[in-house]
Amino acid sequence: MAEPTSIDGLLAEGQRQIAICNGCRYCEGYCAVFPAMERLPVVGAGDLTYLANLCHDCRACYQACMYAPPHPFGVEIPKLMSEARERSYSEFARPRWFARWFTAGPRAVAALTLAGALVFAFLAWAAGRARGIFAPTESTRTFFDVIPYGLMLVPSLLLTAFLLAVIVWGFIDFQRASRGASHLGARVWLSGLAEVATLRWMRGGGDDCYYPAIERSSPLRRRFHHLTAYGFLAALVSTSLASFYHNVLDLPAPYPVLHPVVLFGLVGGIGMTVGTTGLLWLKARAAPLQARREALLNSSFLVSLNLASTSGLFLLALRDTPAMGALLVLHLGTIVALYVTAPYGKFVHIVYRTAAVLRSAAERAADEAAGGRSAREPAALGRPASTRLP
Ligand code: SF4
Ligand code: SF4
């Protein structure tokens, strides 16, 4: 007998709730999850993983559900999906023994930030630049006067390689387990990636997410999410441009304020700081419909990203002051914490969601090819009025 996966324990409860939803079908216009449920004659563990990562946790279905607690049917789709998502994080995180270290949540982020800062302080000391951290002199004008470029570059490349290797490993395992589509046409790729980029399903059936109050939809979560995601992309562009200017054009930092490297970094840093602060604020006030461990991992990732972006902004603002050396070491510590913890928490959701959205787009394209526009296309159905009992 095959060794049970960690999601198997949740499967019976998932099958029970999904059978009720497939009989009810009230929410099939809300998002891609309900039409995907209806395509499944039998729900297996991989299917539950797929559905869970297709879910945006917008809570529209919970707000509308006449069978939610205290009804004896006890249907709580957002909570079910959260528990399945959390299990997929631990199931596909590699190596698993390493992933267990980061279940301590924000405490693990704080410890890794401190450890990362100490490593870079040691490197500065080993290069004979320790004075640049706490007692800068006239000659300590740039970041590389505190930590030489090579000593900053090699750890960064190693961390990036680690992050990419763990994510690709997890993606392949996830794709295999969730029976992701193996052949995707150009149209499926385009529509799937557009849905990921625009967070299409975060609007439920037309409204926004039910955060922070479960009774009322609000655009806040979608907006904070966009600020965080596009801020992260802008920061990546800034880092890539800095590398191009340094290595290809032989124009090392520092750059003036109106330089593309600084502008992308500034916009990205502000976006991430505002976005992650807003998401943490919403989480603290939202109804407790998330699995405890998923909530912890989400908070860890948001805290880690917030520390990295906020310390980056302080570093930019104070780069010409004596505080630059200490701030640089602290900022590099936050980057270490972000890169080491990212593959084991909310960050991988980006990868798994993309795989799930692509499978959903492929299924909808197959429906269309079989009989014109799919009767299960959520946008065709619109959002029914809430029937949730007071
Ligand atoms: S109303 Fe409740 S039971 Fe019906 S589809 Fe929505 S979540 Fe499922
Ligand atoms: S995306 Fe929203 S409506 Fe769809 S299953 Fe998740 S919480 Fe429910």
pLDDT per position as a tens digit, 342-356:
888 788 888 888 888
Q: Which atom of ligand 2 is nearest to the CA of 78?
A: 7
Cβ atoms 246, 240 nearer than 8 A: no
Considering only CA atoms, which residue is closest to atom 8 of ligand 1? Answer: 21
d(CA 87, CA 10): 9
Residue 333 scores a pLDDT above 90? yes
In this predicted model, which residue has the larger pLDDT, 171 or 60?
60
| Mean pLDDT of the 110-132 span | 90
Ligand lying nearest the CA atom of residue 383: 2
Pocket test of ligand 1: the residue of 37, 51, 67, 76 to mutate, having most ligand atoms within 8 Å of its CB, is 67
CA angle 161, 162, 168 (to 5 degrees): 85
How many whole angstroms from its chain centre is CA 329? 26
More confident residue, 50 or 174: 50
pLDDT of residue 379 exceeding 90, the answer is no
Q: Band of the pLDDT at 34, cuts 50, 70, 90? A: very high
- At 205, the pLDDT band (50, 70, 90 cuts) reads low
26 alpha carbon, closest ligand: 1
pLDDT at residue 366 in the model: 84
Q: Hey, how many other C-beta atoms are within 10 angstroms of the C-beta on 6?
A: 14
Ligand 1 atom 1: residue of nearest CA: 65
Residue 237: predicted pLDDT: 96
Q: Is 21 in the pocket of ligand 1 (CB under 6 A)?
A: yes
> Which atom of ligand 2 is nearest to 60's Cα?
3
Please check the confidence at residue 380 and state whether its pLDDT lies above 80.
no
* Integer Rg of the chain from CA: 23
- Counting ligands in written order, which one lies closest to the CA of residue 78? 2
Measure 182 CA to ligand 2 centroid, in angstroms.
25
Ligand 1 atom nearest 67 alpha carbon: 2
Pocket lining: 60 vs ligand 1, CB cutoff 6 Å: no
pLDDT of 105 above 80: no
The pLDDT value recorded for residue 182 is 60
Structure tokens of 131? 């004075």
Report residue 384's pLDDT band, with 50, 70 and 90 as the boundaries: very low
Place of tokens 């387990």: 177
Distance from C-alpha of 337 to C-alpha of 325, rounded to nearest angstrom = 19
Looking from the CA of residue 27, the nearest atom of ligand 2 is: 3
**What would the pLDDT profile of 243-302 be if each residue is shown by its tens digit?**
999 989 999 888 999 999 999 999 999 999 999 999 999 999 988 888 888 888 888 899
Among residues of the chain, what percentage have pLDDT more than 70? 88
**Which pLDDT score is estimated for 145?**
86
Would you state the pLDDT for residue 275? 97
What sections of the chain are H helices per DSSP? 8-24, 33-38, 45-54, 60-64, 77-92, 96-99, 106-126, 131-134, 143-146, 149-177, 186-198, 220-247, 260-285, 292-317, 324-341, 347-371, 378-381
Average pLDDT for the chain: 85
Average pLDDT for residues 318-336, to the nearest whole number? 92
Section 181-201 average pLDDT: 77
Regarding the beta carbon of 166 and ligand 1, being less than 6 Å apart is answered: no
60-69, 84-93, 161-170, 172-181: least confident range? 172-181
Say what the pLDDT of residue 104 is: 64
Per-residue pLDDT averaged across 302-328, rounded? Answer: 93
| pLDDT band with cut points at 50, 70 and 90 for residue 103 | low
Identify the pLDDT of residue 313. 96
Predicted structure pTM score: 0.84
Is the C-beta atom of 67 inside 6 A of ligand 1? yes
Q: What length does the chain have? A: 390
- Between 175 and 24, the more confident residue is 24
Least confident of 165-179, 255-269, 328-342: 165-179
